[in-house]
């Protein structure tokens, strides 16, 4: 689907949201921290960033689609749990639906505000915080609307925790989230995950893609937007990949390096023998945490 960006020029999101690097393509990525399909998109995003990151910058936009869920109803929990389980078994990115019966998320809105608060300390820290929040939610079954859990996520990704807590209660974080909701509404994003690709010409139409697609589809869109065949960058060595991302799924390694999950785990076990990584078992598949120097 194609759409114009010109209707977004009526306000300045940079007032509350960090600016982008000047690259030929800008991708608006509409996500929700509780969305299992957004989590399932991680392997493809990593590969796209490694191979073609020099051509695009990503702006994460919180859609708010799950922030106003009618919580507290058993049927709703059952539906979400079933979706998590199906997504995990289909995509290889583990998410444990039993969370919704054992430790349900009571306030999805707070998780979104926490992400915007983290972003106030820098775009990269905001992205790392979102990833950590997804890990504790989908793998550890922690309630990400619990304040102590959010502070733990902030601490583990190197945020100034005191500043983070102050920002959660600030008008700035609330306005940053409202900024995201306005973009979501103006781009008519109805489902998540949604990626919208724009080139540097504001007058030209963007391309909107919703859901999960094979990696080649995203590369094809980049080619169309760039009007040339981009040159992919080779992925780093596996140890450096782990060092950069700290914790990854076997599925992510498989996608990034174009190998089977079995082959990925064989290579990861070699790093484990060298005491560079440790296994982190999950309900579906395996994760690996970097522990080397």
Confidence of residue 89 (pLDDT cuts 50, 70, 90): very high
| Residue 77, pLDDT score | 86
At 86, list the tokens. 């199906």
Answer yes or no: are the C-beta atoms of 67 and 109 closer than 8 Å: yes
Residue 100, helix vs strand vs coil: helix
Whether 238-290 and 2-8+22-187 are alike in CATH topology: the answer is no
Nearest Cα neighbor of 178 from 17, 38, 34 is 17
- Whether the ω angle into residue 193 lies within 30 degrees of 0, i.e. cis, is yes
- The mean per-residue pLDDT over the stretch 216-239 comes to 95
3-state helix/strand/coil string of 1-26:
CEECCHHHHHCCHHHCCCCCCCCCEE
**What pLDDT is stored for residue 64 in this prediction?**
79
Q: Which fold has domain 238-290?
A: Arc Repressor Mutant, subunit A (1.10.10)
Q: Which of 235, 276, 286, 280 is nearest to 256 (CA)?
A: 235
Rounded average pLDDT over 133-138 = 97
Give the integer Cα–Cα distance in Å for 150 and 14: 25
Which 8-state DSSP code applies to residue 50?
A: H
Read off the pLDDT of residues 26-48 as tens digits, 9 standing for 90 and up.
Answer: 999 999 999 999 999 999 999 99
Q: What tokens does 132 get?
A: 């950590």
Contacts of 147 (CB under 8 A, 6+ apart): 110
Mean pLDDT of the chain: 89
Q: How many CB atoms lie within 10 A of CB 196?
A: 23
Domain boundaries, the chain: 2-8+22-187, 238-290
Q: What is the CATH number of domain 2-8+22-187?
A: 3.40.30.10
pTM beyond 0.75: the answer is yes
pLDDT in tens, 244-286: 999 999 999 999 999 999 999 999 999 999 999 999 999 999 9
Task: Quote the pLDDT of residue 263.
Answer: 98
Q: Which tokens belong to 72?
A: 């507290």
For position 292, what pLDDT does the model report? 80
Q: Give 185's contacts (C-beta < 8 A, 6+ positions apart).
A: none
Q: At how many degrees (to 10) do helices 123-138 and 108-119 cross?
A: 150
């Amino acid at each position: 689907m194609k759409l114009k960006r010109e209707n977004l020029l009526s306000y300045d999101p940079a007032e509350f949201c960090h600016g982008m690097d000047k690259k030929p393509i800008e991708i608006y990525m509409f996500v929700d921290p509780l969305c299992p399909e957004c989590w399932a998109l991680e392997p493809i995003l990593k590969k796209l960033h490694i191979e073609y990151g020099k051509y695009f910058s990503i702006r994460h936009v919180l859609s708010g689609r799950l922030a106003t869920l009618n919580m507290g109803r058993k049927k709703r929990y059952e539906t979400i749990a079933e979706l998590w389980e199906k997504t995990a078994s289909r995509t290889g990115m583990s998410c444990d639906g039993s969370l919704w019966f054992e430790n349900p998320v009571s306030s999805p809105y707070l998780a979104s505000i926490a992400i915007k608060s983290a972003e106030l300390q820098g775009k990269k820290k905001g992205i790392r915080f979102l990833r950590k929040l997804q890990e504790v939610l989908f793998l550890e079954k922690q309630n990400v609307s619990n304040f102590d859990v959010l502070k733990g996520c902030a601490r583990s990704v190197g945020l100034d925790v005191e500043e983070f807590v102050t920002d959660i209660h600030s008008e700035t974080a609330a306005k940053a989230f409202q900024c995201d909701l306005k973009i979501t509404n103006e781009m008519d994003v109805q489902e998540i995950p949604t990626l919208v690709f724009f080139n540097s010409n504001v007058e030209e139409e963007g391309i909107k893609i919703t859901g999960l697609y094979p990696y080649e589809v995203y590369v094809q869109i980049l080619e169309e937007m760039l009007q040339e065949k981009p040159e992919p960058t080779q992925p780093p060595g596996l140890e450096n990949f782990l060092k950069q991302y700290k914790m990854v799924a076997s599925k992510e390694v498989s996608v990034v390096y174009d190998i089977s999950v079995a082959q990925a785990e064989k290579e990861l076990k070699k790093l484990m023998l060298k005491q560079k990584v440790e296994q982190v078992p999950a309900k579906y598949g395996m994760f690996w945490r970097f522990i080397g120097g």
